[in-house]
Amino acid sequence: MEQQPEISIVVPLFNEAESLPELHDWIVRVLNERQLSYEIVFVDDGSKDESWDVIESLQAKDSNVRGIKFQRNYGKSAALQKGFEAVKGRVVVTMDADLQDSPEELPELYRMVVEDDFDVVSGWKKKRYDPITKTIPTKLYNWAARRLTGIYLHDFNCGLKAYKRVVVKSIELYGDMHRYIPALAKYAGFSNIGEKVVIHQSRKYGTTKFGLNRFLNGPLDLMSVVFMGKFGKKPMHFFGAIGTLLFIIGFGFAFYLGISKLFFDTHGRLIASRTEFYISLAAMIMGVQFFLAGFLAEMVGRNSSTRNVYLVEKEI
């Protein structure tokens, strides 16, 4: 019977061939010093360089290395999702492949999950080596995420995080949801979320893979996470509440216009000439539309697939 590793490390990567050997050797040295059994799952997100060749060479000399290669670039969330599906360890740690996350943090992250019983431990890059064009938007995103999710972490987007195995098996990632995994874990019922200050290092090889689109995608994904977490299984509660409120407002105006016309109108004004009539009509129509949206969302949610399909080209 195959022994379960104590720690699984998921490393999503895109064009990081130069850093992989150094990262692998560093991880192995740290974990061997602490006598922790491990597996390293490298997920190649459609790299165009020699990253997959490097992974194959690492796997040839270290049986604890596993590799997954996408046929094309799907994004970090897809890579993490596929890695989560593959892991077998008691504790699962995610880290970036660019050597900005230090493997020296691994033993303490493992201890916090096992001994302190945290469901999730999120890294906090208190001292960052990123340009101001990245740090300022990150601070705004973190502030908004704290307000909307009720999870008071300083750094939602830190790639270095640790989880109980059951957590990563209970969540689904798509789009750019990797930024908000703690929120997804909370909505899945894992609310014991901790934080650890971690070392952040300047990039040694290559360039950053994130462009300006993250400034738009980040807030949109945050709204999606919050909505799906609170109303994903009961969309009628959201759309129905708004629809009911709008319909009551519209009906209230219509009732007021009817009473006014029947008992107090001495000038013979047409109801259609009054502003309240159009407010009433618009509110009731919008209320009905929100109701229909809620019913359709319920029907789609009950009949749709719960998993995305990512095409894997190779796996070792």
Angle (deg, nearest 10), helices 275-303 and 235-259? 160
215 or 196, which is more confident? 196
For residue 216, is pLDDT > 70?
Answer: no
* Structure-token pair, residue 309: 């399909």
Looking at every residue in the chain, the average pLDDT score rounds to 85
| pLDDT tens column, 125-158 | 887 766 666 667 777 878 888 888 888 888 888 8
Q: Where are the domains of the chain?
A: 7-232, 235-302
What does the pLDDT read at residue 54? 94
For residue 302, is pLDDT > 90?
Answer: no
The per-type count for the chain, helices as H runs and strands as E runs, is 10, 8
What does the pLDDT read at residue 59? 94
| pLDDT tens column, 200-213 | 877 666 666 555 56
* Structure-token pair, residue 307: 């998993």
| pLDDT tens column, 244-299 | 999 999 999 889 888 888 777 767 677 778 888 889 999 999 999 998 888 887 77
In angstroms, the CA 177 to CA 121 distance is 17
For residue 97, is pLDDT > 70?
Answer: yes
Share of the chain above pLDDT 70, in %: 86
Query: Nearest Cα to 7, choosing from 117, 164, 158?
Result: 164
In angstroms, the CA 66 to CA 74 distance is 19
Q: Which fold has domain 7-232?
A: Spore Coat Polysaccharide Biosynthesis Protein SpsA; Chain A (3.90.550)
78 or 234, which is more confident? 78
How buried is 238 (Cβ within 10 angstroms: 0-12 exposed, 13-18 middle, 19+ buried)?
middle
Lowest mean pLDDT among 21-25, 167-171, 249-253, 266-270: 266-270
| pLDDT tens column, 67-88 | 999 999 988 989 999 999 999 9
In angstroms, the CA 233 to CA 225 distance is 13
In angstroms, the CA 124 to CA 139 distance is 12
